[in-house]
Amino acid sequence: MKELNKNEYKSKWRIRPDGHDKVTGSLKYLTDYCFPNMLVGKVLRSSFPHAKINSINTTEAEQLEGVEAIITYKDVPGMNRFGLIFPDQPVLCEDTVRYVGDAVAAVAAISEEIAMKALSLIFVEYEPLEVIDSPDKALSSQMKLHPAGNVLHRAGYKNSEYVLDELKKCPYIVEETYETPRQMHAYMETEGGVVVPENDGKLTVYAATQHGFKDRMQLARILSIPESNIRVISSPIGGSFGGKDELNIQPYAALLAIKTKKPVKLHNKRTESVRAGIKRHPMKMTMTTGANEEGKLVGHIVRIVADTGAYATLGPAVLDFAVEHSTGPYIIPYVDIEGVSVFTNNGVSGEYRGFGGNQVTFALESQMDRLAELLQINPLVFREQNLRKADDPGPLGQRIVKNDGARSVLTMIKKSPILTQPLKTEPLNVKGRGVAITMHGGGLGFGRPDPSGARLSLTKDGEIEIAFGFEEFGQGLLGSIEIMMMEALGCRKEDLKIVIGDTDLVPSSGSSTASRSTNMIWNGIQKLKEPFLNKILDEAASYTDTTRDLLYLGGKGIWRKGKIDQLIISYYDLANYLSDKLPIFHTQFHFPTTPDAVIGGHYLYSFAAVAAEVEIDQLTGRVKVTKMDHCVAAGPVVNPLGYLGQIEGGAVMGLGFTINEDSVMENGRYHTQNLDSYLIPTIKDIPKEMKVFVDESLMEGDVFGPRGVGEIGTVAIAPAVTAAIHDACGLWVKNLPVSSEEVLDALTINAFVEK
Name the site residues for ligand FES (rule: CB under 6 A): 188, 239, 474
Q: What's the closest the beta carbon of residue 645 comes to ligand FES, in angstroms?
A: 9
Stretch that binds other proteins, among 249-257, 602-610, 642-650, 743-751 (CB under 8 A): 642-650
The H or E element containing residue 430 is strand 429-441
Q: Which residue in the set 649, 668, 705, 737 belongs to the binding site for other proteins (CB under 8 A)? A: 649
Which of ligand FES, other proteins, none lies near 690, with the C-beta cut-off 5 to 8 A by kind?
A: other proteins
State the nearest-atom distance from the C-beta of 67 to other proteins, in Å. 9
Residue 632 near other proteins by CB under 8 A: no
In the complex, least distance from residue 683 CB atom to other proteins, rounded to whole angstroms = 4
Confirm or reject binding of residue 6 to other proteins (CB under 8 A).
yes
Ramachandran category for residue 545: left, alpha or beta (phi over 0 → left; psi -120 to 50 → alpha)? left
Return all residues near 613 (Cβ < 8 A) that are at least 6 apart: 418, 423, 431, 432, 433, 625, 626, 627, 628, 687, 724
Q: Residue 280: left (phi > 0), alpha (psi -120 to 50), or beta?
A: beta
Instruction: Pick what 29 binds: ligand FES, other proteins, none; C-beta below 5 to 8 Å, kind-dependent.
Output: other proteins
Closest approach of ligand FES to the CB of residue 189, in Å: 8
Interface with other proteins, residue 238, by CB under 8 A: yes
> Under the criterion CB under 8 A, does residue 652 sit at the interface with other proteins?
yes
The binding track of 28-47 with respect to other proteins, each residue x by CB under 8 A or -, is xx--x-x-------------
* Least Cβ distance, residue 477 to other proteins (angstroms): 11
Amino acid at 235: S
What are the backbone dihedrals phi and psi of residue 575, each rounded to the nearest 5 degrees, phi first?
A: -60, -40
Q: Taking CB under 8 A as the rule, which mask of x and - marks residues 252-291 in contact with other proteins?
A: ---------------x-xx---------------------
Q: Which of 37, 54, 59, 63 binds other proteins (CB under 8 A)?
A: 63
Tell me the CA distances in angstroms from 438 to 477, 605, 632, one per residue in order: 24, 10, 10
* Partner whose binding site includes residue 6, from ligand FES, other proteins, none (CB under 5 to 8 Å by kind): other proteins
**Site track for other proteins across 136-175, x = CB under 8 A:** ----------------------------------------
Over the Cα atoms of the chain, what is R_g?
A: 27
Nearer to ligand FES, 275 or 433 (CB): 275
The CA–CA distances, whole Å, from 471 to 73, 245, 511, 602 equal 31, 11, 8, 23
Among 102, 133, 189, 324, binds other proteins (CB under 8 A): 189
CB of 623 to ligand FES, least distance (A): 24
**Closest distance of CB 474 from ligand FES, Å:** 5
Which residue of 82, 157, 178, 187 would you call a contact of other proteins, by CB under 8 A? 187
- For residue 620, the Cα-to-chain-centroid distance in whole angstroms is 34
- The answer to whether residue 448 forms part of the interface with other proteins (CB under 8 A) is no
The SS3 of residue 565 is coil
- Of the candidate spans 57-65, 155-163, 255-263, 526-534, the one that interacts with other proteins by CB under 8 A turns out to be 57-65
Shortest distance, CB of residue 654 to other proteins, whole angstroms? 9
Burial 742-751 (b: 16+ CB within 10 A, else e): bbbebbeebe
Cβ proximity to other proteins: between 1 and 690 the closer is 690
**Residue 16: CB minimum distance to ligand FES, A:** 11
- Distance (Å, whole) CA 622 – CA 626: 12
Q: Is 197 helix (H, G, I), strand (E, B) or coil?
A: strand
Secondary structure of 239-277 in HEC code, one letter for each residue: CCCCCCCCCCCHHHHHHHHHHHCCCEEEECCHHHHHHHC
3-state class (DSSP) for residue 116: helix
Give the whole-angstrom CA distance, residue 127 versus residue 124. 10
Q: How far is the CB of 675 from ligand FES (least distance, A)?
A: 7
Is residue 687 within 8 Å of 627, Cβ to Cβ?
Answer: yes
Q: Which helix (H) or strand (E) covers residue 179, if one does?
A: strand 172-179
* Phi and psi angles of residue 78, each rounded to the nearest 5 degrees, phi first: -105, -135
Residue 650 partner contact from other proteins, ligand FES, none using kind-dependent CB cut-offs of 5 to 8 Å: other proteins
Most distant CA pair in the chain, distance: 92
Applying CB under 8 A, which of residues 11, 23, 161, 549 lies at the interface with other proteins? 23
Minimum CB distance to ligand FES, residue 272 (Å): 14
Rounded to whole angstroms, what are the CA distances from 325 to 157, 284, 338, 364, 554? 11, 15, 12, 9, 45
What distance in Å separates the CA atoms of residue 398 and residue 597, rounded to the nearest whole number? 8
* Site membership for other proteins, residue 718 (CB under 8 A): no
Q: Using CB distances below 5 to 8 A depending on partner kind, what does residue 190 bind out of other proteins, ligand FES, none?
A: other proteins
The helix-helix angle for 517-544 and 571-578 (nearest 10°) equals 70
Amino acid present at 246: E
> Nearest distance from residue 656's CB to ligand FES, in Å?
13
* Shortest Cβ 269–other proteins spacing (Å): 6
Q: Which is nearer to other proteins, 12 or 303 (CB)?
A: 12
Q: Which is nearer to ligand FES, 18 or 615 (CB)?
A: 18
Identity of the residue, 683 or 703, whose beta carbon is nearer to ligand FES in the bound complex: 683
Contact 469, 453 (CB under 8 A): yes
- In the bound state with other proteins, the residue whose beta carbon lies nearer, of 222 and 720, is 720
Instruction: Please tell me the distance from the alpha carbon of residue 218 to that of residue 211, in angstroms, as a whole number.
Output: 11
Peptide bond just before 681 cis, omega within 30 deg:
no
Shortest distance, position 660 Cβ to ligand FES, whole Å: 17
Q: Which residues are within 8 A (CB) of 623 and not within 5 positions of it... i.e. 6 or more apart?
A: 614, 615, 616, 659, 721, 725, 738, 740, 743
User: Minimum Å distance from CB 642 to other proteins?
Assistant: 8
The window from 13-21, 49-57, 246-254, 525-533 that contacts other proteins (CB under 8 A) reads: 13-21
* 236 binds, options ligand FES, other proteins, none, Cβ within 5 to 8 A by partner type: other proteins
Instruction: Measure the CA–CA gap between 218 and 426, rounded to whole angstroms.
Output: 58
Residue 11 touching other proteins (CB under 8 A): no
Residue 19 or 531: which CB sits closer to other proteins? 19
Burial-class residue 64 by CB neighbours within 10 Å (0-12, 13-18, 19+). Answer: middle
* Interface of this chain with other proteins, residues 653 to 712, rule: CB under 8 A: 653, 674-676, 680-684, 686, 688, 690
The yes or no reply on residue 116 touching other proteins (CB under 8 A) is no
The residue with its CB nearest to ligand FES is: 188
Contact set with other proteins (CB under 8 A): 6, 15-16, 18-29, 32, 34, 63-66, 113-114, 185-190, 236-239, 241, 267, 269-270, 473-476, 641-642, 644-645, 648-653, 674-676, 680-684, 686, 688, 690
